[in-house]
């Protein structure tokens, strides 16, 4: 399933299903998945930062209109010095954690889907939820 055009609910269901599958995989497979996520984000850095700039602009307007807490705007900004690198390092940090056994790994990005479901009408909040989850 491609999440590009998925609804928030579809994305959340896919994340839940994926987390169950990931829990049964060997450590090497989970680590390979984290490496792939890290590498994909690193490779798409310029595209991500361009999209983030648009999200940030919308978030600032929403904060000005009182629809979004201004503190979320700061967390949304991936262009802040070190923020993108910290996000990438967070993925490596999770990869380097001891394997919890047959318990589902704690992927920070799954928090985004929870946030997404509870704020489906506010795209700026959805983006902020993703960034907050990676913070």
- Residues 14, 6: Cα–Cα separation, whole Å: 10
- Residues 1, 54: Cα–Cα separation, whole Å: 26
Q: In this predicted model, what pLDDT tens digit does every residue of 96-135 receive, in sequence order? A: 988 766 544 454 444 444 444 444 444 444 444 444 444 3
- Residues 55, 67: Cα–Cα separation, whole Å: 14
What's the start-to-end Cα distance of the chain, in Å? 27
One DSSP character per residue, 15-68 reads HHHHHHHHHHS-HHHHHHHHHHHHHHHHHTHHHHHHHHHHHHHHHHHHHHTTSS
Residue-range domain boundaries for the chain:
8-134
Q: In this predicted model, what pLDDT tens digit does every residue of 37-87 receive, in sequence order? A: 999 999 999 999 999 999 999 999 999 999 988 888 888 899 999 999 999
Spatial neighbors of 54 by CB under 8 A, at least 6 apart, are none
Q: In this predicted model, what pLDDT tens digit does every residue of 6-38 receive, in sequence order? A: 787 888 888 888 878 877 888 888 889 899 999
Write down the pTM of the prediction.
Answer: 0.62
- Residues 4, 100: Cα–Cα separation, whole Å: 31
- Tokens standing for residue 7: 């609804």
pLDDT number for residue 4:
65
Between the alpha carbon of residue 95 and those of residues 76, 100, 102, the distances in Å are 24, 11, 15
């Amino acid at each position: 399933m491609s999440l590009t055009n998925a609804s928030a609910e579809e994305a959340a269901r896919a994340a839940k299903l994926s987390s169950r599958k990931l829990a049964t995989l060997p450590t090497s497979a989970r680590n390979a998945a984290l490496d792939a996520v890290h590498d994909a984000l690193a490779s798409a850095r310029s595209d991500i930062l361009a999209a983030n700039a648009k999200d940030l602009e919308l978030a600032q307007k929403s904060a000005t209109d009182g629809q979004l807490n201004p503190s979320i705007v700061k967390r949304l900004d991936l262009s802040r010095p070190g923020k993108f690198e910290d996000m990438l390092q967070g993925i490596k940090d999770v990869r380097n954690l001891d394997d919890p056994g047959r318990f589902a790994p704690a992927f920070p990005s799954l928090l985004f889907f929870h946030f997404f479901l509870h704020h489906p009408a506010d795209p700026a909040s959805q983006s902020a939820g993703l960034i907050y989850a990676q913070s």
